[in-house]
Amino acid sequence: MAQASLQSSPTRSTSDQIIDRIWRFFCSVRAAVAEITFLALLVLIGTLRGSEVPRWIAEAFPFLQGIVDRWYAWDVFSSLLFALTLALIAVAIAVCTLNRAPSIWQTISHPRVATSRSWLRGAETSATFTRTGTADSLADDLSSVFAKRRYRVLSERIGNEVHLYADKNRFAKLGTFPFHLALILILVGGLMAAHYGFREQEFIVVEGDTRPVGHNTGLSIRLDQFTDNYTAMGVAASYKSDITILQDGREVKSGDIRVGHPMSYGSATVYQSSLGFAKSFRITDAAGNVIYEGSQPIGVFTLKGNPDAPAGLVDLPGIGGQLVFAAQDTDPANRPDLDTLNLNSDQLWIQLGLRDAASGQLVNVPGQKVELGKPAQIGQYTITWTGTNRFSVMQVAYNPGVPVFIIAVVLLLGGLMATFYFPHRRVRALVSSTGDSASVQLAPLAKRDWSGKRDFLRLIQDAQESLGTPTAVKLPKSGGDWDTFKPKTNAMT
Amino acid sequence: MDGLVRFSFYLFAASSMAIWVSAIAYIAYAVGRVRVQRQTMVTSAGSTVTSMSAEFGPSVQGVGRIGTMMAVFGALFAGFAILTRAIAAEHIVLSNMYEYSLVFIFFTTSAYLVFERIYGVRQLGAIVMTVAGLMTLYVWSLPSDMREINPVVPALQAGPIMAFHVGSANLAYSVLSVSFGAAVLFLIADRWAPRWLPSAEMLDDIAFRAVTVGFPFLSLMLILGSVWAHDAWGTYWSWDPKETAALFAWLVYAVYLHTRTLRGWRGRRSAYILLFGFASLIFTYYGNYFFGGLHAYGGVKM
C-alpha cells in the first residue's frame, strides 16, 4: 500500500504542509485509481467517437443530438484535458514510486524477523511440529526445508526462542519500478517524437519523379518503379516501390519498400503506404515554350462541380495559374446524379485557371474534354495529355523516441513478469523448547491469498520428510478446496 | 487444397459440437442435482396449504468428467482445424474474423483446461465453455465465403510480428475469459454460497491468476501492434479506434490490478471490475463492426 510517509506537524511551515499534501495526493492509491479510471473514460469517449455508436444514441434519443454533435467534434486525444490527465498520471507514477521505494527495500533487505504467538495463533493457516531435540536443531532442519524450496531464511534468538523469517522471490517486488518507469518512458518517447521528429503522412511521388523530404534533412526520394499485383477479385495482393534516396542531390541508397518493410537513411525512414495513378501533361505556350511537363496524382483532389470524380491539380507557378483535371468516375458506389462530366475511359476533363493581373483572382477558362495524345488549345496554351502512370504514397518519418520506446518495452514486460510470475512468498516461524522436546509453529503471510496458502501447505508436505508428522495443521476456513494439499497429519483443525 | 479447407471446416464443426456438449455437461455439473419437493399440509381450519421447495445437491463426478473429456476433444478438433487451414492457406490463420475466432475457440478451451488442471475446478467450465460455445455460434453466423482461403492483404503480410501481435491479443482475450468465468462464479458463490461451488477465495484467486497471465499478453499485444504499426505506418500509435478500445480494456485491467494489489480489494468489487473488463474485451473484439480506421481488415461489414 502506498501511503504518504511524511507527517504534518504543527511546527512545520505552511509551504511544507502544502508540499506534504501534494505529495500525499500523488502517493494516494485512491487518487491513482481515480486518475486511471478517468483516463479510461476519456479513452472510451475518444474510441466511441470513431464509431457509429454516438449516432445510434442520437437516433434513439433525439434530444441528445446536440451532445452527440459536440462528441463527434471533440478530438479527445488532442485535447488539453487528455494531455493533462496523462501528465498527472506520469507525475503520480513517479512520486508514488519514489514514496514506495524505501518500504519495499526495507521488506527486501531488512525484514522484521521476530514474530509473536498471538499472530501465529490468529493466522488462518498454520502448522506445528514437535519432536525431541533442541530448538536450534529444529530451527536448522526447518531452515534446510526452506532452503530446498529456495527460501531465504533469517533467524533471531530472543531468550529461549528462535524466530525465523523465510521468504523467496523478494527481488520480484522491485518489478513494479521498471513497469511504472516504462509507462513514463513511453510518454517521454512520444513527446520526443512529437517535438524532435517529423512525419510526412502522405508523401506522394509519381514514377520517375523526385521529391524533397524537407525538414532540413537535405534528402530527396525518387520513385524509380512501382510494382503491384492483384488477386482475381481485384484486391491488391502486394505492391512495392523501388526508390532511390538522394542526399543533397547525390544518390546514397536504393532499394525497394513494401508495407511493413521500410527503408532508413540518416534521420529518415521511408514507409510504403498506398498507391494510385497519375496523369502526365505537356503544356506549351503560343511560342512553343514548354510551361510544364510532368505527372500529377489523380484521386487526391475533390472537384467542386463533381465531387465523386477522381481529380487532380497541376500547379503552374510559371504562368500564375493551375490546371484542374478529372477522369471518369468508375466507382459504382458513387452517386451517378453527381456525375455531370459524362467522360469515357479514354477521356479527361481539363480546366485551366489563370490569375487575373489586375485583381489577382484566379479566373477559370471553360473546361473541355481531351483525349490521350491529342493536343487541346485553351487560350494561348496547348495542353496535351501524354499518358498515365502510377504514383506511390509513402510516409517519411523521423522518430527519435524509438530507442526510448524499445527500452520501455523491455522494462514493461520484465517488470510485469517479475511481479506476476515470481510472487513474494513469506513465512514466519517460532521455535521453542520444553524439556527435551522442541516445537515450531509456522504460518504464511498470505492473508486472502489462496495461492500463498497452497504454497505453504506444499511446504508443510515437504517438511514432513525431515520434521515428521505435524502435530497440528490449521487449514483455511474455506473448506473443501484443500483436500489435494492436505498433509499427512494426526491433527487437523 | 479445397479438400483440406473443407476438412478444416468439418473439424471446426466437430469442435463446435464437442464444446457445446462440454458446456452443457459443465453446467449440469455446476448446478448439481435439483430435487423439488412438494409438501401438502392441512391447517386446523381445514384448508390445504401446499409448499414447494428445491433441494440442491452435488452432481455426480461422471458428468464433470464428460465435460472435461468433451472440452479436450473440442480443443483438439479446433487445434487440428487451425493446423489444416494453415497448411492449406500457407499463412498463419489470423487474417479474418473466421480464422481469428477459430483460434479464440482453441485458446479459450485450452486455457480453461489448464486452469481446471491446476485448480481442479470443473464448475468454471460452465461459464468459460459457454463463452467458447457462443463463439462457435458467431463463427457459424459468419458469411460462408469467409471459410474460403483468400490472400492476405499487404498490410497483414508482416510476418512474425503481426502473427504474435494478433496471437497475443487472442491469447489475452481467451485467458481473460477464464477470469470472467471465475468472477461470475465468485459472485454466485458469494451471494448464495452453494456447497458444491468452490470457495469464493479460490475463485477470486483463479480470476486474479488468469489476469496475471492475460494482462501481460494484453500489454504484449499493444506493444507488438505498436512495433508493427511503426514499420507499416511510420508511427507507433495512431489513436485508431480499435487501438484505443484495446487501450481502454488494458486500463480497466490495470485498475483491477491496482485496486487488488495496492488497495487490497477482493471479492465483489474486484469481480465487478472483471465483468466490466470482459465487456470491454468483447467491445474490442467486435470493434470491426463499429469502427472504421486502420483495423478494418476483419472482412466484416455492417
pLDDT in tens, chain B (302 residues): 578 899 999 999 999 999 999 999 999 888 876 667 777 777 777 788 877 776 666 667 788 899 999 999 999 999 999 999 999 888 777 778 899 999 999 999 999 999 999 888 888 999 999 999 999 999 999 988 888 887 776 666 666 788 889 899 999 999 999 999 999 999 988 887 777 788 888 888 899 999 999 999 999 999 888 888 877 777 788 788 888 889 999 999 998 998 887 777 777 889 999 999 999 999 888 877 766 555 555 444 43
With an 8 Å Cβ cutoff, are A33 and B205 in contact? Answer: no
Contacts of A479 in chain B (CB under 8 A): 199
Q: Provide the shortest C-alpha distance from residue A302 to chain B (in Å).
A: 21
Work out the percent of chain A whose per-residue pLDDT is above 70.
91
Contacts of A49 in chain B (CB under 8 A): 241
Q: CA A440, CA A431: separation in Å to the nearest integer?
A: 4
Q: CA A479, CA A390: separation in Å to the nearest integer?
A: 73
Q: Where are the alpha helices (DSSP H) in A50-134?
A: 53-60, 65-73, 80-109, 117-122
Nearest to A484 among B120, B151, B227 (CB): B120
Interface-testing mutation among B116, B175, B202, with chain A (most A C-beta atoms within 10 A): B202
Contacts of A409 in chain B (CB under 8 A): 223, 227
With an 8 Å Cβ cutoff, are A396 and B234 in contact? Answer: yes
pLDDT number for residue A380: 85
- Name the phi and psi angles at A473, rounded to 5: -135, 130
Q: Is the pLDDT of residue A16 over 70?
A: yes
A and B: number of Cβ contacts within 8 A: 157
Q: Is the pLDDT of residue A6 over 60?
A: no
A165-202 per-position pLDDT tens digit: 999 999 999 998 999 899 899 889 888 888 888 888 78
Is A111-169+424-485 CATH 2.60.40?
no
Q: Is the pLDDT of residue A230 over 80?
A: no
The H or E element that residue B24 is part of is: helix B2-31
Q: How confident is the model at residue A412 (pLDDT cuts 50, 70, 90)?
A: very high
The x, y and z cell numbers of residue A193, run together, are 517524437
Q: Provide the shortest C-alpha distance from residue A236 to chain B (in Å).
A: 7
The x, y and z cell numbers of residue A11, run together, are 511546527
Write down the mean pLDDT value for chain A: 85
The x, y and z cell numbers of residue A173, run together, are 517486488
Q: CA A203, CA A225: separation in Å to the nearest integer?
A: 16
Q: Indicate whether this model's pTM tops 0.80.
A: no
pLDDT number for residue B112: 96
Mark residue A424 as left, alpha or beta (left: phi above 0; alpha: psi -120 to 50; beta: remaining). beta
In this structure, the number of other CB atoms found within 10 A of the CB of residue B141 comes to 7
A295-342 per-position pLDDT tens digit: 888 877 777 767 778 888 888 888 888 899 988 877 766 666 667 777
Q: Which of the listed ranges A143-147, A351-355, B47-51 does the model predict with the highest average pLDDT?
A: A143-147
Instruction: Identify the closest residue of chain B to A27 by CA–CA distance.
Output: B262
pLDDT number for residue A333: 65
Instruction: Identify the closest residue of chain B to A396 by CA–CA distance.
Output: B234
The domains of chain A are located at 15-106, 111-169+424-485, 198-330+341-398
Q: Provide the shortest C-alpha distance from residue A305 to chain B (in Å).
A: 28
Nearest to A51 among B158, B209, B291 (CB): B291
pLDDT number for residue B34: 66
Greater pLDDT, A343 or B256: B256
With an 8 Å Cβ cutoff, are A1 and B262 in contact? Answer: yes
pLDDT number for residue B58: 63
Instruction: Identify the closest residue of chain A to B238 by CA–CA distance.
Output: A77
Is the ipTM reported for this complex over the cut 0.95? no
In this structure, the number of other CB atoms found within 10 A of the CB of residue A276 comes to 17
Nearest to A40 among B219, B237, B255 (CB): B255
